[in-house]
Structure 1
Amino acid sequence: MVGIDDVARRADVSTATVSRTLSGRGIVSAATRERVLRAASDLGYVVSSAASSLASGRTRNIGVLVPILDRWFFSRVLTGIAATLQRSDYDVALYALTSDADERRRVFEASLRRQRIDGVVVVSMALGAGEIEQLSGLGLPVIGLGGRLAGLPSLVVDEIAVARCATQHLLDLGHRDIAHIGLRPQFEGDFHIPSQRRRGFEAALSDAGLAPRDDRFAAADFTMAGGHDAATRLLRDAASRPTAIFAASDEMAIGALLAARELGLSVPGDVSIIGVDGHDLGAFFGLTTVDQFPSRQGERVAAAMLDALHADTAAAAPAQPPEQPAGLEFALVARSSTAPPA
């Protein structure tokens, strides 16, 4: 069986250098690292996770807390996290954190305290003060994604700016009668993202000298079916039909596209439609969107976690990233679903 001594002899370095290289702890030159990795690959050497954990104090697992597993957006974020961590030989330990108080208590009081992880990423969910205190007490780096967590570093998107971007695109095309498909405040989840997007929409209208109208808001859930139903309500009366719709998610926007076509309307000839997210199906439907690059969000937060773990390899505990929230990028992607009004 190939051991660390065999890798050291093949690479002509000490066993300590091999250990530092393969564990990611300690300073190793790029040339030496390449030589050690090549030797390990040639010999088929695989690091024992148990031995590595005992030697380094690291499990090479990152815990990821997510609220929902079966939604497109979260799956894309998780893909970015997993791909980035795997390139550095870290695994993902996934925790689905629901609103059930007993389940959350088990996660924070038991699962996360079993010393099976080296850091925690919290994806798009708010935490209670007690939960944040428990995470801080782990002595591990903790990073939030998608919303600000008190006292913890986080990566966030400016949702108001995202909605302004989408609405301004329609205004720049010449639209003045614009409807919004969103979510009623009593049904939205953590961080009030739908409300932020509605605020951005209304702020862009106000800046253009247009007063927001209650009859130009249609509530829906964040699904294609919800967008379809809301758009049907907005578009079925020809006498009061808006010339454009801004939907607060791409899935709702795709539903609105389908509703418009069922009503015999041309998109964008009769109505322009724009969404938010950067959904994989957006290009297929020709949907104009404000892309938030969810996979890239996952890559960014995973890279921040790796930086925190490697910031000071000689320290007794990993360094925490700065607490100042870092902004995530977004960009308008114009396609065929928007055009000047007829």
Structure 2
Amino acid sequence: MNVHIEGEGTVSTGEERTRTASIRDVARAADVSYQTVSRVLNGHPSIRPETKQRVLDAMAELRYRPNQAARALVTSRSRTIGVILGSRGEYGPTSSLAALEDAARARGYWVTSAYLGDTRPEAIRAAVDHLRRQAVEGIVVHAPQVRVFDVLEELDIGIPHLGLHTAQRGIAEIAEDQVHGARLATEHLIGLGHVEIVHVAGPQDWIEAESRMRGYLHALSDADLPTRPPILGDWTADFGYRAALELSRRLDFTAVFAANDEMALGLLHGFRDIGLELPRQLSVVGFDDIPLARHGWPPLTTVHQNFAGLGERAVGALLAAIGGNDASSDAAGAPRAEPEVAPRLVVRDSAAGPVAHRM
């Protein structure tokens, strides 16, 4: 059975009025049958490369666009994936979503998202139902809160899905190693000679915050250094600023590892405002390597995350789970190399050895 999808475009011949181009117009322009055009649209492996290219050239010339709704009806392939977002506004979630969309588009897929205004079970169920109504072929769960995965575990989603943040509760782990990144940051400070290191963590129930806190604690334990109760923050620079003012009341430490760059930049600001010279009197390290990190005063030492690589891996893994042959190649069919997503330390000027500290 041959499947063809009508589409939209414009075609004009002589005095003929401009009208929407059809699959048969493409066939005539490429000098092939409309069944051949249909096979090209549906990725049939039997089409010769030169024939495929001729059809693609005709589509471009006529500005032919396949009707995606019709394609989904006859092929059961919407070529759309869904994303459940548990947070927005912060640099990390925004960058990850952009990377997911870029990676999906490179493979000929679109992305539709559902934002969780809160993490009540009914809100999570509504997000899943919304994406299912869009006929998405799979779902990426970009929600960093533990309770979101508790609810998802109980739902019968019925299509492939994976999480960016955790391997717990049957959700595949695609995220780069947050624990390892926090170890890199903390071990850098230890390597400089610091033994009293404070951690300003992210919010409770956030998987990333918990992972980065564990990396910090593991690094201190491995070095047989004293641990302190982490300070629970909210990811904002304002919190980092307030934390610096509060911490300055005692100054019984020589370094701070902040769980993200925004809080770290707020710490730099706060410590400077009370008259400390950084890094001569105090060292600060962040996490994420946001664009502003290199413009801090002093420029911030931090852990770089490859958000583009993370998006590539997430989309590739989801398409592999869906069962399509799109996971290992781009929209033009070229093979893809597996991206490197391991975190790496970016050393700038916000950290120095404690021997330079003159309290």
Say how many residue pairs are matched. Answer: 319
Instruction: Report what 2:282 is aligned to.
Output: 271
Matched residue, 1:155: 174
- The equivalent residue for 1:77 is 96
After superposition, the Cα gap between the structure-2 partners of 1:67 and 1:27, relative to the gap in structure 1 and judged at 3 Å, is farther
Number of the residue aligned with 1:40: 59
Residue pairs, 1:69-218, within 5 angstroms: 69-97=88-116, 98-108=118-128, 110-114=129-133, 116-125=135-144, 126=146, 127=148, 131-132=152-153, 134-137=155-158, 140-183=159-202, 187-191=203-207, 193-214=208-229, 217-218=230-231
2: CA distance between counterparts of 1:81 and 1:299?
7
Give the structure 2 partner of residue 8 of structure 1: 27
Amino acid at match of 2:123: E
TM-fit CA distance, 1:221: 1.9
Matched, 1:224 2:241: no
Tell me how far 1:312 sits from its aligned partner: 5.4
Q: Matches of 2:246 and 2:166 in 1, distance apart?
A: 32
Return the alpha-carbon distance in structure 2 between the equivalents of residues 270 and 130 of structure 1: 46
TM score, norm. by length of structure 1: 0.83
Q: Select the residue among 276, 296, 306 that pairs with 1:293.
A: 306
Tell whether the 8 Å contact from 1:288 to 1:333 is kept in structure 2 after alignment. Answer: yes
Q: Name the CA shift for 1:33/1:146 in 2 (closer, same or farther; >3 Å).
A: farther
Partner of 1:19: helix, strand, or coil?
Answer: helix
Residue of structure 2 equivalent to 1:322 = none
Instruction: Work out whether residues 67 and 124 of structure 1, in 8 Å CA contact, stay in contact via their aligned partners in 2.
Output: yes
CA contact (8 A) 1:229 1:259 kept: yes
- Could you tell me which runs of 5 or more consecutive residues in structure 2 were left unpaired when the two chains were aligned: 1-19, 327-338
Contact 1:135 1:142 in 2 (8 A): no
Highest RCO, 1 vs 2 (Cα 8 Å, sep ≥ 6): 1
Identity rate of aligned residues, in percent? 36
What amino acid is aligned across from residue 194 of structure 1 in structure 2? A
**Partner SS state of residue 305, structure 1:** helix
Matched letter for residue 68 of structure 1: S
- C-alpha separation between the residues in 2 aligned to 1:76 and 1:134? 28
Q: Could you report, residue by residue, the CA deviation over 1:124-168 in whole angstroms, capped at 9, with x for unpaired residues?
A: 34445663354542xx32121111253343313332222111011
TM-score under structure 2 length normalisation: 0.79
Q: What is the alpha-carbon distance in structure 1 between the residues aligned to residue 44 and residue 134 of structure 2?
A: 18
Structure having the higher Rg? 2
Residues 307 and 7 (structure 1), Cα distance of their counterparts in 2 relative to 1, 3 Å cut: farther
Partner of 1:244: 255
Cα distance, 1:90 vs structure 2: 2.1
Aligned AA (2:125): R
From the superposition, tell whether residues 189 and 213 of structure 1 become closer, same or farther in structure 2 (CA, over 3 Å): closer
Q: Does 1:261 align with 2:272?
A: yes
Q: Structure 1 114/228 Cα, relative in aligned 2: closer, same or farther at 3 Å?
A: same
Question: Separation in 2 of the partners of 1:83 and 1:116?
Answer: 20
- Displacement of 1:253: 0.6
For structure 1, list consecutive stretches of 5 or more residues without a partner in the other structure: 314-325
Distance 1:210 1:161 in 2: 18
Residue-by-residue CA offset, 1:205-263 (whole Å, 9 max, x unaligned): 2222312134xx433221111111112222344xx342211111111111111112112
